[in-house]
Structure 1
Amino acid sequence: MDDAPDPRLAPLRHDGHLLPGHGPLLRAAPGAPTRARKALARLWAQGVLVRLGAGLYVPLAHWCALAPWDRYTLACAGYALLHPTARFTGTAAAHLHGLPLAQTPPEIRLRSPAPGHRARRPLAASAFSDLADTRGRRLPAPPAVRWTWNGVQAPADDGGELRRRRLASGGPEGEAPPPGPLPPVTVEAALSDGTLLGPVTVDALPTVQLALGSGPVFREAVVPLDGLRRRLPGPSAAWAERHADRLPTRAARERFERAWGFSDPRAESAGESLSRALIHELGFAAPHLQRTVFGRDGRAIGRTDFWWEEVDVVGEFDGIGKYDVDLHASAAERRQAITREKEREVALRRVCRDVARWTWADLREPAGLEAELVRAGVPRRS
């Protein structure tokens, strides 16, 4: 990514007319003269900026260079900057908490203030001006905003204080009302490189756990639950035990119990979690996770994502990371990373019967994953 500041923004920065502390988000500072806002609007009209809301912009080159998940974070932070009382829920809250997801959400989910209030609209009326330079590519549009009533909320945990007060005052234990919903929390939105974008208000993690874990798509529920188990193994297990009965229907509770029971902290990425869920859905035997493989000389070759002991087959999910040129300092470093990966596979094949490999494309179209596992001889569940 080209981080060189646009010279057309230099006068606004020099004069202190831009709001600081929000990364690449551009907005006139409080008290800035009208000409500062007009200058930003003029740069948008010239195709230099992307509009994320009324008076809120980001440089077009920066927007296009960001990874999809960082563009989503930036859009959420921009909306929160313009609407400080907004409360992010569902996949938006999970993303802002830093939990992995099966895919970058197509919408920003906001909690409606009351049941029955539902709406959807673009983040900005016109994100790109007619003069925006496409350079022969399709410009990545900002996500839409959707308000939805989410009745799933974890209860506030008072540690039994309410019950103790009732008993101390001589009241019967059964009269204590159920605890109210857990209030939202504020977290700092940040890009993958650590750039801080400002505070956002989100559902608390126990509420996110319930909402996503009880979702209708098993594979999409497993991914954030794996990440939550990995980050907070003790607290997340306690929340699941205490809060599952807060789900409104038996079907929701059963979905949550299935996904939570299947979740595993040893899955180290969204791709591994999604792979694991799809392997299960496709009917294959459950693999061992993160097994260290040793060469014939006794030296460790490395940890494998998956291993089927009964057929001595290794499974490897190839994420974009080691092949992504932006994650390496130079083309030479990228070539070295690819060479190391190929040498690792050769070493694995010397000590294992076969190595099955798949990519994000195979997870988006699971028939590809299924064909690769069948080719390698991975058994189905009996």
Structure 2
Amino acid sequence: MPQPTSALTIAPSPAPLLRAEDVPHPERAVARRELVKVRRGVYAPAQTWMGLAPWTRYLAEVHAVLLQHPGFVFSHESAVALMGGPVFGNPGIVHVLAPDVGASRLASGIRTHTTSDDRALIVADGITIAAPAETAVDIARARHPAIGLAVGDAMLRLDDTLSREHLQVLNETRATKRGRRIARWALGPLDPRPETAFESVSRAVIEWLGFPAPELQRSFVASSGEVDRSDFVWESDALAGEADGDLKFDGRFGDAGALLRRQRVRDARLRQHVRAVAHWGWHDATTFSPLATLLRGAGLRSIAPQNIAALTSMRQALASRAPHPAAAG
């Protein structure tokens, strides 16, 4: 039975959704570009819709399915979106769970997953979704390991009762073996300390580039008494790393000039404790060569060969699919 929870709040639809029966002549409104069709029978104001980012449109699409099918149980990226977790681009497909009757299927943009496992479900705001642990394992089994790591880290942050070990056991004990081996890498280094999906993806890229694992979220106290926390620290190389770059300074978090001046002052405080501070953006990490060059130029030494297969597939999966800025750094 689904367990109700008051700790989780469902992310609301970012656009008003209108049923066809509530709009006079909706197709005419679409032709006049006043409405857009989100799904058959569900519409949204065109002006609002055009201003939504891909990941935000996806959340609205999930809510459109919910509007039509309030009894559905949401899973995979759809559960992640409803929990406010990191969604990369617009996955396009809404995922739901069903009893183990027949094969999984895709119809009208809805992927129905069947399972014989007794899945843990939760009810939040009257909506039933796969529990964070189930969602983390689903994504780790079915998506690129960098995405699996980012979502797994996010689920640990969301539910502080979860542990890496619990998710690993859940992966190993599911009835089906499909995706089990793929999930093992993503579930191995899970850690709730990264504050964003971008930091989690950067962790994966750093390992696949052959660099040593950094210390996460280390705090430093400056001579002025101010405390600064760095995303990544390599103490042996006296290097700090910050996953921000293009996402932080594109204007969505305030005046770019003021942010850059604050960063310079902060970096000066950090250099009281480290030799250098490296900053990188989404493109640097997900196309990986720029990040490799940046870290080598900052004096970081490799300890292993590059995992070219993982890096190349990650670039194909993620380079053009940044997650929500609140989850991306």
Q: TM-score range by the shorter chain?
A: 0.7 to 0.9
Q: What is the CA–CA distance in structure 1 between the aligned matches of 2:183 and 2:18, rounded to whole Å?
A: 42
- Counting only pairs closer than 5 Å after superposition, residues 101-180 of structure 1 correspond to structure 2 as 101=87, 103-111=89-97, 114-121=101-108, 145-151=109-115, 153=117
Quickly say closer, same or farther: Cα 1:28–1:263, change in 2 above 3 A.
closer
1:221 is matched with 148
Paired position in structure 2 for 1:50: 36
Pairwise CA distance, 1:152: 7.5
Shift of 1:305: 0.5
Q: Which runs of 4+ in 1 moved over 6 A?
A: none
Question: CA 1:225/1:58 → structure 2, altered by over 3 Å: closer, same or farther?
Answer: same
Q: Of the candidates 205, 210, 221, which is equivalent to residue 132 of structure 2?
A: 205
**Which segment drifts farther, 311-320 or 69-78?**
311-320
- Counterpart-to-counterpart distance in 2, 1:258 and 1:336: 40
Is residue 2:204 matched to residue 1:240?
A: no
Secondary structure at the counterpart of residue 98 of structure 1: coil
Partner in structure 2 of residue 291 of structure 1: 218
Describe the shift of the 1:151–1:27 C-alpha distance in structure 2 as closer, same or farther (beyond 3 A).
Answer: same
Cα-to-partner distance string for 1:250-300 (whole Å, 9 max, x where unaligned): 6744444432230111111000011011111221100011112343x2533
AA in 2 matched with 1:288: E
How many percent of aligned residue pairs carry the same amino acid? 28
| Separation in structure 1 between the aligned mates of residue 264 and residue 13 of structure 2, nearest angstrom | 41
Report what 1:348 is aligned to.
270
Q: Does 1:24 align with 2:15?
A: yes
Moved more, 349-358 or 112-121: 112-121
CA RMSD of aligned residues (A): 3.0
The reply on whether 1:373 has 2:299 as its aligned counterpart is: no
Q: Distance in 2 between matches of 1:252 and 1:28?
A: 38
Q: Between Structure 1 and Structure 2, whose CA radius of gyration is higher?
A: 1
Pick one of 220, 225, 232 that aligns with 1:306: 232
Size of the aligned set, in residue pairs, is 292
- Structure 1 residues 250 and 77, CA, compared in 2 at 3 Å: closer, same or farther? closer
Q: 1:318 aligns with which of 226, 244, 248?
A: 244
Q: TM-score, normalised by structure 1?
A: 0.67
**Which residue of the partner structure matches residue 280 of structure 2?**
358
SS at match of 2:220: strand
Aligned twin of 1:174: none
Which of 182, 185, 199 in structure 1 is aligned with 2:119?
182
Contact 2:164 2:190 in 1 (8 A): no
Instruction: Supply the AA of the counterpart residue of 2:291.
Output: L
Higher relative contact order (CA 8 A, sep 6+): 2
CA-CA distance at 1:304 after TM superposition: 0.6
Uncovered stretches (5+) of structure 1, i.e. residues with no partner: 1-20, 122-144, 154-180, 189-198
Q: 1:349 to 1:323 in 2, by over 3 A?
A: same
Alignment partner of 1:79 out of 52, 62, 65: 65
CA-to-aligned-CA distance 1:105-141 (integer Å, 9 cap, x gap): 34322346644342254xxxxxxxxxxxxxxxxxxxx
Q: TM-score, normalised by structure 2?
A: 0.76
Decide which of 76, 92, 97 is 2:78's aligned counterpart. Answer: 92
Are the aligned partners of 2:98 and 2:115 in contact in 1 as well (CA < 8 Å)? no
Which amino acid counterpart does residue 292 of structure 2 have in structure 1?
E
Q: 1:338 to 1:119 in 2, by over 3 A?
A: same
